[in-house]
Amino acid sequence: MHIMNISKIALSLFACSFLLSSCIKQKFETPPDTSQYDPNLPVNVTVAQLNNLALKMGSGQFRTLGDSTIYGIVTADDRSGNFYKQLVIQDSTGGITVGIAQTNLYEDYPIGRKVYIKLGGLILVNYNGLPEIMFSATVAAGKTTAIGVPITLIPTYIYKASYPNVVNPILMRLDDLIQNPTPYLNRLVSIENMEFDSSVVGAQYALPSLLAISTSRTLHPCPNPNNSSLIVYNSGYATFQPAVLPAGKGNLVGIFSMYNSIQFLIRDTTDVQFTQERDCR
């Protein structure tokens, strides 16, 4: 009897173990793939239309937006730290910066994510010549300070859609951008035949954050018949801050921007495709 009881207990334990194993397998099934989900919100405004409104307002001016919706693909996020509490998105007509009061945005809104933005109640800002979408703004002593969308209100205004999507940079010459910058503000572009100025080759992309919040580095096209130049803005908090500026020549990819005058922001060092031998300055 004792042996039989032991056998029954062992059989019962085996059965429970089998059932428990089956339950566990069912509990951890692979979640459905939602990467291509698109809420298909009605879009009735283009990014280019917003940009035109912002640029007509003049530097430091802002206005509250009505009930309308745009869409865009994220072309720059905050993964490297060179962009802070902001995304840059682009539709088929143009690009615009979106301020969001949150860090690590790349976890939900990485480069390639499609998003819809409901604009009602947000503001459109002309930030020293650059169009931006923000949550609110104040003016003190003639200076405009804008605040991004608060964390708690992100789901109210920003809607995630499919991922990944590819946005190819527009290939440009620097002289063409200088002559006609407006259509390319906040857009992903590739500027051909660029070199860092010889005076900064071998220096770090930026000074450490303890010394400077940001560092500007100068580049030139090669050849350079018009003696043109471009400032690249690099944050002292960027992950690539200590990396060394390359000595070569090639295409520069990133976001074409403005802060009173034209400037440029890279997403990380893979945007600096200087693999050719330099042959100018």
Q: Report the CATH number at residue 251.
A: 2.40.50
Residue 224 confidence (pLDDT): 96
Same domain, 191 and 130: no
SS3 state of residue 149: strand
Task: For 22, list phi and psi in degrees, rounded to 5.
Answer: -65, -40
Is 214:233 a contact under the CB 8 Å cutoff? yes
* pLDDT at residue 120 tops 90: yes
pLDDT band at 33 (very low <50, low <70, confident <90, very high): confident
Same domain, 199 and 272: yes
Question: Under the phi-then-psi rule, with left for phi > 0, alpha for psi from -120 to 50, and beta for the rest, what region is 71?
Answer: beta
Same domain, 71 and 149: yes
Residue 26 confidence (pLDDT): 54
Residue 13 inside a domain? The answer is no
User: Mean pLDDT, to the nearest integer, of 86-114?
Assistant: 98
3-state percent breakdown (helix, strand, coil) of the chain, nearest 5: 20, 35, 45
pLDDT band at 142 (very low <50, low <70, confident <90, very high): confident
User: What percentage of the chain carries pLDDT values higher than 90?
Assistant: 85
Same domain, 151 and 253: no
Residue 73 inside a domain? The answer is yes
User: How many other C-beta atoms are found inside a 10 Å radius of the C-beta of residue 229?
Assistant: 15
Q: Which of 111, 127, 160 is the last residue of a domain?
A: 160
Q: Do the bridges between strand 170-172 and strand 158-160 make them parallel or antiparallel, or are there none, so unpaired?
A: unpaired
User: Mean pLDDT, to the nearest integer, of 191-213?
Assistant: 97
> Please, what is the Cα angle at 74 between 65 and 82, to 5 degrees?
100
User: Mean pLDDT, to the nearest integer, of 62-85?
Assistant: 98
End-to-end CA distance of the chain: 97
Residue 15 inside a domain? The answer is no
- Report how far Cα 210 is from the mean position of its chain's Cα atoms: 24
Residue 9 confidence (pLDDT): 47
CA distance 105 to 13: 49
Is 69:89 a contact under the CB 8 Å cutoff? no
Residue 9 inside a domain? The answer is no
Largest Cα span, the chain: 103
Dump pLDDT digits (tens) for 153-172.
999 999 999 999 999 999 99
Q: What's the mean per-residue pLDDT of the chain? A: 92
CA distance 24 to 110: 33
User: How many structural domains does the chain have?
Assistant: 2
Q: Which of 128, 160, 192 is the last residue of a domain?
A: 160
pLDDT band at 8 (very low <50, low <70, confident <90, very high): low
Q: 45 is written with which tokens?
A: 């405004």
Residue 253 confidence (pLDDT): 98
Q: Which of 160, 192, 212 is the last residue of a domain?
A: 160
pLDDT band at 180 (very low <50, low <70, confident <90, very high): very high
More confident residue, 17 or 63: 63
Residue 20 confidence (pLDDT): 47
Same domain, 156 and 178: no
* pLDDT at residue 37 tops 60: yes
Residue 5 confidence (pLDDT): 54
pTM as predicted: 0.88
* pLDDT at residue 187 tops 80: yes
- Report how far Cα 167 is from the mean position of its chain's Cα atoms: 12
Q: What is the CA radius of gyration of the chain?
A: 25
Residue 35 inside a domain? The answer is no
Give the closest residue to 233 by CA, choosing from 82, 85, 103, 59.
82
> Which range of residues forms the domain containing residue 266?
170-276
* pLDDT at residue 32 tops 90: no
CA distance 253 to 148: 26
Residue 272 confidence (pLDDT): 98
Q: Which residue has the tokens 């910066």?
A: 97
